A and B are shown apart, each in its own frame.
Chain A
Amino acid sequence: MRTSEDVADGAAAAGHFASVDEVEARLAEAGYLASPAVATTVYLADRLGKPLLIEGPAGVGKTELAKAVAEVAGARLVRLQCYEGVDEARALYEWNHAKQLLRITAGRDESWDETRTDIFSEEFLLARPLLTAIRGRDPKVLLIDEVDKADVEVEGLLLEVLSDFQVTVPELGTVRAERRPFVVLTSNAARELSEALRRRCLFLHIGFPEEELEQRIVRLKAPGLDAALTASVVRVVGALRAMDLRKAPSVAETVDWARTLLALGADTLDESVVRRSLGVVLKHQEDVAKAAAKLDLDAV
């Protein structure tokens, strides 16, 4: 059970933000417009010193959030991209065998004891993201991206690292975090994550933003698009999301569309413009057909 001292400790280690408003303001400066729920959860993750597990559809800015936090906190972003078959050697650390062999051949007349203590030293250790994030005093943001793609065994490894923030290298001893990194895990729910991992994290679901927030995002990412057109773009995307398509358009698609309209020089959204550029928003032919039918695009 954690005591309040533990938390104070964690806060001292992280403690990048003083209030929810500050989170919102500073993320906005970095070009990330956070919804109230996002700002609150980031603040809590920072305050309680707990890892943050983010789920949500593709393209709503899960990875972006980690990058923005790193930027405003002045921290280094350490990224572990998960994929099927990622293992300890890729996630934690690995000995540099080739260099060790060279070292052994170079020192031919040394005694075995000397060589042994030498080749298992820091110099021959290849730190992978998890170890990198723990070592050193400078602030870091550890981004574990698409954790659902990794195998179940890796989750076990993460449990150990995320609960104690320490890694044991048998030859060197235990490396303990002097300063806890701000940890962000993202998942697209390709696989159900284990309950144990979920329990160690704060959970945040980023869905599609509210109309008003999305308009602000579009204005930020595609300046130059006039206000009325921005509003129409967001409204149409909102209608598309309500349609139950194979792949609902995400914020990334909204921004792409806004930029496309900018490039096309369209000043209003009418049928011909929508029909020509619908492919930017919808990525499946059947979705395009369905949307065209529902929006009466052919009824001209």
Chain B
Amino acid sequence: MNGGSGLAGRLTGFVRALREQGVRVGTGESVDAGLAAEALGLADRERLRAGLAATLLHQEAQRPVFDQVFDLYFPRTVGAPVPEGDAQVPLVREELRDRLAAALAGNDAAAMAQLAAQAVDSLGGYGDASGSDGWSAYQTLERLRPQTLLARVLAGLREGQELREGQEQGAAFTDRLAADEIRRRIEGFRGLVATEARRRVAERRGADAIARRAVAPTADRVDFLFAHRGQLAELHRTVRPLARKLATRLAARRRRAARGRIDLRRTVRGSLSTGGVPMRPVLRRRRPGRPELVLLCDVSGSVAGFAQFTMLLVQALHDQFSKVRVFAFVNSVDEVTDLIEQGRADPEGLSSRILAQAEVTRFHSSSDYGTALGEFAERHAAALSPRSCVFVLGDARTNRTPPNAEALRAVRDRAQRVYWLNPERRSAWDTGDSAASVYAEVVDMYECRTAAQLGALIGRLATV
């Protein structure tokens, strides 16, 4: 670490690592962070964390990254865990599991942190030559297998319940929450282990290097196509506000128009404060536009991750707009608006239900944009009007079938605007069977790989 000594050096290194993770921190904020650290002191780590977060962050979405980097630069302790009282380190696996079960049952945060440290220390080490050795969270969790403790912890809790027999039925109701609660605690423990392993490795290799490589990106920077389940859940939370933003964006009309008809009543009312002289004419408010939205989604396997996301977006948009019609296709188009309406209670199963119940494939199951677009232009043209805004969601990979740009042109001519969101990076467009540029000539095509890109895109979209 260079640049200053002690706390100042730590802070600047910390700020630099945050910047590398895409958090925008200015010099003014660093100075504030220094003042905060001075005011709070280093005695209480959680207070320091809160203080630095208050001065350096501007958005809650950056918090997970912040926490990971903070744990690297302001570690909980240094070195291997200190043996406490009776326990001797290294503990054996079974003993760790016993203690972990007890901590999970009692929701004992301090004990869990302690156990995470001991587990990494005794189970997570690999390699012996200096330089190639380290600590692995994956290996620790593979050996410890905390997820298998669920049944045991639950059984333990139930036994405890029976001992306190006096309680009547009431307690039984909250018991059904217990499984989920324990599962969440186990998830929390996994996080602790990952943090601990990163801390130990960082001691060996330096915090700067680990911050660069091992910190998970924020959810809005994760690629749709490669998102795994946990990230999809996270995405779900980011997408909903985006849909709301898109809704306001599309519905926005300039409220205080520079031209328009005079609103006589409000002008006269306003003139009272100037002695009856109408100094400021008030114009009649325009009615907010009510856009009609048409979504045309590729739900084929090649864009599975994206299709999941598409469904999230569609669902969220459906909550925001009164007039949304959704069409899905693989190589045949079918309207799925009703399915989405029914599917509100169970969004996860939606895409599989669409594949099962709607007629989106014919003869074979690989996507064919040309046929699908042609069918859409032919059969569902009534869904389009000069006030409708069409979003096509798909990767434009036609499986070497004719792209049929003519059909897309027909759609464009009937609708007000057509946007195409492509989940592939721009450099991959036109490679292989992609017909991206053929379609991009007809309509506006945007790269939309991450939630962050979608957000930026929505900000740029012209108001309808």
Contacts and interface: CB of A to CB of B under 8 A. Distances in A.
Interface of A: 1-2, 4, 7, 20, 36-37, 40-41, 43-45, 47-48, 50, 55, 84-85, 97-98, 101, 189-192, 195, 198-199, 202-205, 207, 228-229, 232, 235-236, 238-239, 242, 244, 246, 267-271, 274, 286, 289-290, 293, 295-296
Contact of B50 (A4, A37, A239, A290): A37
Interface stretch (B96-104, B171-179, B393-401): B171-179
Contact of A269 (B26, B51, B173, B344): B173
Nearest to B279: A97
Given A101-B275, A238-B177, A286-B344, 19 more contacts: A7-B35, A36-B46, A37-B53, A41-B51, A189-B241, A191-B248, A195-B24, A202-B55, A203-B58, A229-B170, A232-B170, A232-B173, A235-B174, A239-B177, A244-B236, A246-B319, A270-B173, A290-B345, A295-B176
A201 to B, nearest CB: 8
B58 A195 contact: yes
Nearest to B58: A198
Chain B interface residue number, banded: 35 or more
B343 to A, nearest CB: 11
Interface string B314-347: 0000010000000000000000000000001100
A161 B63 CA distance: 29
B413 interface: no
Given A48-B32, A232-B173, A274-B173, A199 B54 contact: no
B47 A36 contact: yes
A191 B459 CA distance: 11
15 contacts: A7-B35, A20-B44, A37-B46, A37-B53, A44-B39, A97-B273, A97-B275, A98-B273, A192-B245, A199-B28, A207-B60, A232-B170, A235-B181, A239-B180, A290-B345
Contact of B345 (A239, A274, A293): A293
A40 B54 contact: yes
B100 to A, nearest CB: 20
The dominant DSSP class at the A interface is helix
B92 interface: no
B34 to A, nearest CB: 10
Contacts of B170: 228-229, 232, 267-270
Contacts of A246: 319
Given A1-B28, A202-B55, A205-B60, A85 B256 contact: yes
B184 interface: yes
- Greatest chain A CB density within 10 A among B24, B50, B168, B344 is at B50
Contacts of B55: 44, 202
Contacts, number: 122
A235 B59 CA distance: 28
Contacts of A195: 24, 58
A289 B54 contact: no
A232 B58 CA distance: 35
B169 interface: yes
A20 B174 contact: no
Interface of B: 24, 26-29, 31-32, 35-36, 39-40, 44, 46-47, 50-51, 53-55, 57-60, 63, 168-174, 176-177, 180-181, 184, 233, 236, 241, 244-245, 248, 255-256, 272-275, 319, 344-345, 459
A23 B344 CA distance: 44
Contacts of A293: 345
B37 to A, nearest CB: 10
Contacts of A236: 174, 177
A287 B176 CA distance: 19
Nearest to A244: B236
Contacts of A98: 272-273, 275
- Greatest chain A CB density within 10 A among B63, B255, B273, B344 is at B273
A47 B32 contact: no
A36 B39 contact: no
A32 B168 CA distance: 34
Contacts of B46: 36-37
A167 B32 CA distance: 25
Contacts of B29: 199
Contacts of B57: 203
Contacts of B345: 286, 289-290, 293
Contacts of A270: 169-170, 172-173
- Greatest chain A CB density within 10 A among B36, B46, B241, B319 is at B36
Nearest to A193: B58
Given A242-B184, A268-B168, A270-B170, A235 B54 contact: no
Contacts of B176: 295-296
A84 B27 CA distance: 33
Given A199-B26, A238-B181, A269-B174, A2 B58 contact: no
B223 to A, nearest CB: 22
Contacts of B272: 98
A191 to B, nearest CB: 8
Contacts of B275: 97-98, 101
A263 to B, nearest CB: 18
- Greatest chain A CB density within 10 A among B27, B54, B57, B176 is at B54
Contact of A40 (B32, B51, B248): B51
A178 to B, nearest CB: 23
Contacts of B173: 232, 268-271, 274
B252 to A, nearest CB: 11
Contacts of B169: 268, 270
